[in-house]
Structure 1
Amino acid sequence: MKRIKDAFINTETLKKDREMLEKFYLSNVENLSFTNPEGYELTASRLLVDNPVESLVIIPGRGEIAHKFCELFYSLSKLKVAAVVIFARGQGSSTRVLPDRQKYHIEHFEDYAKDVTFVLDKLNIRDYNLLAFSLGGLISLDILKNQENKPKRVSLIAPYLWPYFNLKKPSLYFFISLMDLLPFTRTMYTPHGSEYKKLEFEGNHHSHDPERFNYYHNYFEKHPVYTIGGPTFHFVKEAMKKQLELFKDKFEFTIPVFCQSAGDDKVVSTKETQRFFEKHANDPVPPKFEVIENAYHDIINESDEFRIKSLTKALDFLFKN
């Protein structure tokens, strides 16, 4: 584990050498594009590594883009791990589902898993290890449940198994479903949602690290074409339907899975995530679950004490022999 931990750079190094990281990203990351049978352009960003000893597939969170993985790519290259981040429809640079590119929308949640599997097939990727963040965690569980090309091992970080919300599940789902029934509201932003606006570090619930937080959002300011706004009512309804399906199903874990949830998550319900994984304690291959105490939701952009600890454990779990 020490070898993995030593591959990560700290915040002070970032402050001093951002230019090095940018040059590395431009020289070592290949952007790929594929068109699926429905006509959607699906994109992926692949880390090129000479003589890799391991490979990794990454499924990102809802609004994440390829550049967000720049620092992680750098660490993976030091570990000789070749990696690819796959962006399903509506994510990253892939085709947005609605004419209004800012609205985050999906017609059927299962489309995400179909898109990821399509790109895996195009890249001829089999017997892979999988790392997923936030919404990517929910997509990953759908892949485990329904798709044929499944990973060997999976590490989930702050997976989106239920939103952080005080309303009880039936009441929240009823409200979202009601709004989804109305033609003029199903593609509207949910309350507090809007087109992308730069967040201020002060008072945010995503990261304790001002360096990583501001750099990420400053990148969007310089490249507005990559910005993604809030979700629509129909997206939230589709996600909730999938979440409830997973909670109620007789699905069992048959491969090693490790989930880390953020202890101070204000985006995803850590309590519900823990409940889900505890429910599977007697599965053929019981999943491992852990809380990263005091961490905010965006662990990949968190301060060193949370980020390095979490990612080190995730990679150590994935690449154990």
Structure 2
Amino acid sequence: MHRHKASWLTRERAFSAFATGPLLDFWRTREEREFTGVGNLTLRYVRFTAPKHKRVILIVPGRIESYVKYPELAYDLFHCGYDVVILDHRGQGRSDRLLEDPHRGHVMEFSHYVDDLETLYLQEIVTGHYQQRYALAHSMGGAILTLFLARQPQAFHAAALIAPMFGIALPLPTFLATRILDWAEKRPAMRDAYAMGTGRWRANPFGENHLTHSVERYRRNVRFYSDDPALRVGGPTYHWVREGVHAGKSIISQAEQITTPMLLLQSSEDEVVDNRAQDLFCDLMREAGHPCEGGKPRVIKGAYHEILFEKDAMRAEALHAVTDFFQRHR
């Protein structure tokens, strides 16, 4: 395991050889499964298991993401001794879509994401009879997981939130954005349309991205969506944004109910989510007597939003923080 962790700092040097060799071999061992979510939608997930593993990590991805994007993280966690389960949320990845235009990021109610996660947890995690259960969530997945933990604070031995979406970085002042979202909500054609400034998926060049500084990981991720049009999701609808804003407010209001040991990693250069909401969440957790690890977000300096797809040094710092944290909560 120590040799495996050492590779985290040098992987980009020969990333292509790693991705087409050991990582591809690992990906071929996956089990792709499905279950029925709210509204009879078919939701898909993938798992990597080994008989010797007694611990599991449930990975909850962010908006537009698919488990197809996560083999490297699964590979690293698997080789640290964990089974790994990764969900494709409703409306994205290989799961069923909700609108005729499959590029529109949409959900009827944000709570449906949480209901789906609970179904997967009961079907896959509880029945696995693991000695330890952990969860790791990114961005929108962080909001979904946190709302689930407000329902079931004993579900996991510990949880790691990676740049969680407790507040969205909106292009307008909050009061104005709220007014526009409420106006659109009353007009079905607008409600389900792409939010201002967004549209269908397109492959942006690396230089235009503000998600990661890693050329290798960014280009690999874009290639997944370029090669498989069925995976593509573009901008969110006005309704999705409104639901996301309300979800953030709900998380803040329920912070004191969440007692699961929690590590929160924050990107210092995040342009997708509002870091102030993460700071407030940790303040509320601390005041309630069950603080986040360290009492505040752990900042990954220099990182953009996708910390676990960042350059080796930042990614390794985050992965060490996560695995060390889980190791302390057995």
Calculate the TM-score normalised by the size of structure 2.
0.90
The answer to whether residue 279 in structure 2 is matched with residue 271 in structure 1 is no
| Residue deviations 1:33-67 (CA, integer Å, cap 9, x gap) | 11236211011110122411421111001111112
Q: Which amino acid aligns with 1:294?
A: G
Q: 2:298 aligns with which of 279, 290, 297?
A: 290
Contact 2:38 2:112 in 1 (8 A): no
Q: How many residues align?
A: 321
- Listed as ranges, the gaps of 5+ residues in structure 2 are none
Q: Secondary structure at the match of 1:159?
A: coil
Counterparts of 1:181-260 in structure 2, within 5 Å, are 181-249=186-254, 251-260=256-265
Tell me how far apart the structure 2 counterparts of residues 276 and 169 of structure 1 sit (CA, whole Å): 18
In 2, distance between residues paired with 1:179 and 1:113? 24
- Paired position in structure 1 for 2:84: 83
| 1:110-189 equivalent positions in 2, closer than 5 A | 110-125=111-126, 128-147=133-152, 150-165=155-170, 167-189=172-194
How many Å separate the matches in 2 of 1:230 and 1:32?
A: 27
In structure 2, C-alpha distance between the alignment counterparts of 1:198 and 1:37, rounded to whole Å? 31
Relative to 1, partners in 2 of residues 1:74 and 1:89: Cα closer, same or farther, differing over 3 Å?
A: same
| Partner secondary structure for residue 34 of structure 2 | strand
Task: State the partner residue of 1:46.
Answer: 47
TM-score (norm 1): 0.93
- Aligned counterparts of 1:63 and 1:236: Cα–Cα separation in 2: 13
Instruction: After TM superposition, give the deviation of residue 102 of structure 1 in Å.
Output: 0.9
Residues 270, 283 of structure 1: alpha-carbon distance in 2 compared, 3 angstrom cutoff: same
Look up the equivalent residue of 1:308 and give its one-letter code.
A
1:312 matched to 2:313: no
More displaced stretch, 36-45 vs 215-224: 36-45
Moved more, 301-310 or 159-168: 159-168
- Kept in 2, the 8 Å contact 1:164–1:267? The answer is yes
- Change in CA separation of 1:172 and 1:259 when aligned onto 2, cut-off 3 Å: same
Q: Is the 8 A contact 2:56 2:125 kept in 1?
A: no
How far apart are 1:144 and its partner, in Å?
Answer: 1.2
Identity of counterpart residues, as a percentage? 25
1:299 is displaced (CA, Å) by 1.2
Greater share of helix: 2
The code of the aligned residue for 1:242 comes to: A
| Structure 1: 5+ residue stretches without partners | none
Amino acid paired to 1:191: M
Report how far residue 22 of structure 1 moved: 4.6
Which 10-residue stretch deviates more, 271-280 or 295-304?
A: 271-280
- 1:67-90, Cα deviation, whole Å (9 max, x unpaired): 211111221222121110122311
Structure 1 319/181 Cα, relative in aligned 2: closer, same or farther at 3 Å? Answer: farther
State the 1:247 CA deviation.
Answer: 2.4
Distance (whole Å) between structure 1 residues aligned to residue 86 and residue 269 of structure 2: 26
